[in-house]
Amino acid sequence: MNDNYNLTNVPQEGTQEHDEYMRSQFGDDYELGYRVGFGRRFSAFIIDFILNAIIGVIIMLTTGVFSDILQMENPFNNIEEIRLMMQDSSLIAVVVGLIYYSTEVLLGASIGKLFLSIKIASSDRSEASTSQLLNRYLLKHSNSILSVLGILLSINLFQGLSSIIILIIVIGFFFTLGSKRQALHDMVTNTAVYYKENIKNY
C-alpha cells in the first residue's frame, strides 16, 4: 500500500475519480477485488443446472420418450430404437439449453446469475459490449453447438470435438480460483463477473 494513502481524501466510490485515485495508489490490480470468485459463480451454475434438468425432464415427458420406452415389451431388444429416441429428445434439450443461456447475451447474465445479483461485464468493470457477450456465449457453449451440428449433419467428428471442448471448458472454469477470478472463456473474451452494483455506469 502507498504510504501516502489517506482515507479522508478518497473520492466517492462509484465515480471515475475514485477509480483513478485507487489505481494511482494500488495499481490496476485493485480492480480484481470486485470480481466474483468461484463459490458464487458455482452456485449460479448449480441453479442453472437444476433449471435445465427440470426443462429436460419436461421435454422427455412431453415428447413421450419415457412412456414409449415403458410400453416396450422388451426394451433390451430395442436398444437402437431407444438410442434414436433419446438422441432426438437430447437434441431438443440441447437447443432449449442454448436458448436458455441466451440471456447471457441479452441481459449479461444467466437466470442463475440474476438470482444471485451477479452479471458479466468487461474485465475493466465497465458494461460488456454485445460482441463481447456474444463471443463469450459462443465460446462457453461451443460444445453444445457442435453437438447440435453433429446430430443434424450426422458428423461424428463434431461429437468427438464436443467432448474435448467440454473438458477444456470445465477445466477453464476452475481458473476462477486464481487471483484474476476469470474462467478461460472470460480471459479469451476480456470479460469477468461482478456484483451488479459494482459495474461501472460511466
Share of the chain above pLDDT 90, in %: 45
Asked whether residue 1 carries a pLDDT value surpassing 50, the answer given is no
192 forms beta bridges with 121
The predicted structure's pLDDT at residue 17: 81
Asked whether residue 186 carries a pLDDT value surpassing 90, the answer given is yes
Residue 51 and residue 112: Cα distance in Å, rounded? 9
Q: Report pTM.
A: 0.78
Cα 67 to Cα 71, 89, 201: the distances in Å are: 6, 13, 52
Asked whether residue 64 carries a pLDDT value surpassing 80, the answer given is no
* For residues 65-76, average pLDDT: 66
Domain ranges of the chain: 34-198
What does the pLDDT look like over 80-119, one tens digit per residue?
666 666 666 778 888 889 999 999 999 999 999 999 999 9
| Burial of 161 (C-beta count, 10 Å sphere; 0-12/13-18/19+) | middle
Q: pLDDT category, 70, cuts 50, 70, 90?
A: low
Confirm if 108 and 136 have CB atoms less than 8 A apart: no
Does 152 or 76 have the greater pLDDT score?
Answer: 152
The predicted structure's pLDDT at residue 163: 82
What does the pLDDT look like over 111-124, one tens digit per residue?
999 999 999 999 98
Q: Which residue has the cell 470486485?
A: 34
CA angle 61–140–122, rounded 5-degree value: 130
Q: pLDDT category, 65, cuts 50, 70, 90?
A: low
What does the pLDDT look like over 28-50, one tens digit per residue?
777 788 899 999 999 999 999 99
Select from 64, 36, 14 the least CA-distant residue to 180: 36
* For residues 63-89, average pLDDT: 67
3-state secondary structure of 6: coil
Confirm if 102 and 48 have CB atoms less than 8 A apart: no
Confirm if 182 and 192 have CB atoms less than 8 A apart: yes
The predicted structure's pLDDT at residue 62: 80
CB atoms < 10 A from the CB of 177, how many?
Answer: 11
Confirm if 121 and 108 have CB atoms less than 8 A apart: yes
Asked whether residue 2 carries a pLDDT value surpassing 70, the answer given is no
Asked whether residue 151 carries a pLDDT value surpassing 80, the answer given is no
All residues at 6 or more sequence positions from 31 whose CB lies less than 8 Å from its CB, including other chains = 23, 124, 125
For residue 85, the number of C-alpha atoms closer than 13 Å in the C-beta half-sphere is 18
